Amino acid sequence: MSEAARVLTLLTERHQTLAVAESLTGGLVAAELTSVPGASRVFRGSVTAYATDLKGALLGVDRALLAERGAVDPEVASQMAAGVRRALDASWGIATTGVAGPEPQDGRPVGTVYVSAVGPGGAKKTVALRLNGDRAEIRRESVRSVLELLSTELRKAGRAQDTEQNGGI
């Protein structure tokens, strides 16, 4: 089973939905998710905010943060995930931002990527990646990493919910 299929299965089991905010991946996360039959049961949609100003305008990322740190930043990734979750009314929001190359951006070297997942009950996790390879490899690995992050967070949230329902085992 692919990571996208695993994520969609977990979301379906939990009666939760997903929205995606993408920058360097340019729609590849959404494409990976929608390649799985039945994705429409839980996948709400995506926003590809490639230009830095769109991260603020469409996703609500703090414009002062963008001006100070640029788009390649862990807090920007977290705010993108939270913003798409809000904008598309989803249980979970995930986001990718980073530098696929061939040139550095915002003082960050090629291969610097941040992926983030924000969900119900205050669930929030951002991971910094330092990826090697060409532009296509960095983008592919970013897709894999954000889906893996969400899968991990969904399993964690599921275990916490099970413990809660079973009297705090």
What pLDDT was estimated at residue 18?
A: 98
Please give the pLDDT value at position 106: 87
Closest CA to 138 of 105, 107, 113: 113
Query: In residues, how long is the chain?
Result: 169
Q: What is the pLDDT of residue 60?
A: 98
Token pair belonging to 103:
């040139």
Tell me the CATH number at 37. Answer: 3.90.950.20
Residue 162: per-residue pLDDT: 56
Helix, strand, coil percentages for the chain (3-state, nearest 5)? 50, 20, 30
What is the end-to-end Cα distance of the chain in Å, rounded?
A: 30
What distance in Å separates the CA atoms of residue 96 and residue 90, rounded to the nearest whole number?
17
Range of the structural domain that residue 28 is part of: 3-165
Predicted pLDDT of residue 161: 61
Q: What is the mean pLDDT of each run of 10 residues along the chain (169 residues)?
A: 96 98 98 98 98 97 97 98 98 98 94 98 96 98 98 87 52
* Domain count of the fold of the chain: 1
pTM of the model: 0.94
